[in-house]
Amino acid sequence: MLIAAQEDGRGMNDAQLRDEVMTLVLAGHETTAMNLTWTWYLLDQNPEVAAWLREELDEVLGGRAAQFDDLARLPRTRAVIFESLRIYPPAWIIGRTNTEDIELDGWQLPRGSIIMTSQYAMQRDPRYWPDAFAFVPQRWLTEDGGFSDKAPGMPKGAWFPFGYGKRMCIGDQFALTEASLVVATLAQKWAPELAPDADVQVMGAVTLRPRNGMSMTLRQRP
């Protein structure tokens, strides 16, 4: 499809094709893969949250695969994904170039400066997140048990795993849907367990990765 694609009668050259393919691999695959990797790790390390999640899955799905229309009835599942993205955002740092001179907290930033902001740092900042380092998906639920991305009460910009503003990731809703459906479907039957000799260390590369991989044993759920 990329090779055949044309705009104003012209197709992409080899360099453009290569760039599009790399965008699909890095932005469309590895990010969600890392989100799922860290989610399974967090569920294993927090068995009470895993049991809380499976209560919902048993009630809503009853063993069948999750479908798009189920998402509205899976607030806990969505909360787990959002909280995982908060603690271990696959896109952990982002750069922007300002188009005009600005001042931030006394710092003069001339036009054309490269400004780096870190999701990993901001989303763990205790000023905005009570129990900032704890895995607490319940923070994303309202009093009636529904899901809301505003439930934690954080200020705008304190949670931005997909970026922020006009250049926010175009695939955010797709990624959130994909991750939620995968977790909802697999967590009904499986409980990946961290290997006893696993050495989990965070590594900031293109994405936020486990430095030594994530060695886990695939076990049937309790």
**Residue 205 confidence (pLDDT):** 92
pTM of the model: 0.89
| The pLDDT of residue 27 is above 80 | no
| The pLDDT of residue 69 is above 90 | yes
Confidence of residue 151 (pLDDT cuts 50, 70, 90): very high
Q: In the predicted model, what is the mean pLDDT of residues 38-59?
A: 98
| The pLDDT of residue 170 is above 80 | yes
**Residue 165 confidence (pLDDT):** 87
Q: Which residue in 11, 40, 17 sits closest to 190, CA to CA?
A: 40
Q: Which tokens sit at 139?
A: 């923070």
**Structure letter (DSSP) for residue 117:** E
**Residue 26 confidence (pLDDT):** 74
**How far apart are alpha carbons 217 and 17 in whole angstroms?**
38
CB neighbour burial string for 78-100, b if at least 16 within 10 angstroms, e if fewer: bbbbbbbbbbbbbbbebeeeeee
Query: Which of 32-36, 109-113, 162-166 has the weakest average pLDDT?
Result: 162-166
| The pLDDT of residue 172 is above 80 | yes
**Residue 28 confidence (pLDDT):** 78
| The pLDDT of residue 148 is above 80 | yes
